[in-house]
Amino acid sequence: MKLRIAAACAPALLGAAAMVLLQRLWQPVPLLSVKIDFGLLAFFGGLLLSAVWLSAVLSRRAFVRQRSFLTARERMKHAEAQRRFIRRLDHELKNPLTGIRAALANLEGAGTPGAAASAIPDIQHQVERLARLTSGLRKLADLEEIPLENAKVDLGELLRETVDAMRAHPSGAGRDLRLVVPSVPWPLPQITGDRDLLSLMFFNLVENAMKYSGRGDAVEVRAIEQARHVLVEIADTGPGIPADEIPRLFEELYRGSNARGCEGSGLGLALVRRVADRHAGSVTVRSRRDGRRGTIFAVSLPVA
């Protein structure tokens, strides 16, 4: 830094030296007053160059400091996100492992074959929870690297399949599930993407809407074409999501306060966002807990 400042001052010093030299060589008679002007011109020219140079050096230094500050802040945010993920993973692993230990203890202490057999379903249930968790984590990791199958996808048809599957799903009992897809004057345009991943994304969103609403609530899946995109909304009349939880809903393993009583891995919405990102799309959420309460997840995907 000192070397740069010295280099920046060099033009000013050279200008001052030129001014003194010119004034000594030429006598200050009226007609030669131009000599002084040249000297001053050299001095001020050098001063101007020094000012410009110093300004550039200081600006660059400020830019480097700002970039370093932002990089450090991003690293801190990333480190904090990693710590949160590890704490959640620890929590998600601890619950089924505790359940397995308790079931094994019951199995060991069972006095009769019937009592021993009753502990086995608990163990199987906890093992399935662990399997779902590891499967979800593997899918998330794979989504970063696997190449997508870029084929034409009829979203209207895919949404009809999803809703039909959810009508037979146990979590849909007692819900009023509706599908609104335009057919006139023209159907939804096709999009380009991986049909299996898109199906997984919409299945997760509709399943969540069913799971976190109650009997008598309505769930509506609707799609429209909008500005060279297809907008798909999954809306429900459930209890809504607290406003302070919405920014964190798509974090891996995050469980909102409404979800803590329901079984799940906390990876579904992280998968949804990753699939939308891989298709150059986006996913947003709006929710209300008072008056006409409910939640809307909106997925926007570009038209092929």
Tell me the per-residue pLDDT of 105-133, one tens digit each, with 9 for 90 and over: 877 777 777 777 777 888 888 888 888 88
With H, G, I as helix, E, B as strand and everything else as coil, classify residue 255. Answer: coil
DSSP state letter for 238:
S
Distance CA 39, CA 46 (A): 11
Distance CA 271, CA 249 (A): 11
DSSP state letter for 236:
E
For the chain, the straight-line distance linking the first and the last C-alpha, in angstroms and rounded, comes to 53
Q: Which residue has the higher pLDDT, 235 or 70?
A: 235
> How confident is the model at residue 129, as a pLDDT?
84
Distance CA 142, CA 8 (A): 53
What percentage of the chain has pLDDT greater than the value 90? 37
The answer to whether residue 36 scores a pLDDT higher than 90 is no
- Pick from 13, 10, 38, 11: which is nearest to 23 by CA? 38
Tokens of 153: 């996808």
Distance CA 68, CA 53 (A): 22
pLDDT, tens only, 46-90: 889 989 988 998 898 899 988 888 888 888 888 888 888 888 888
Cβ–Cβ < 8 Å for 8, 53: yes
What percentage of the chain has pLDDT greater than the value 70? 92
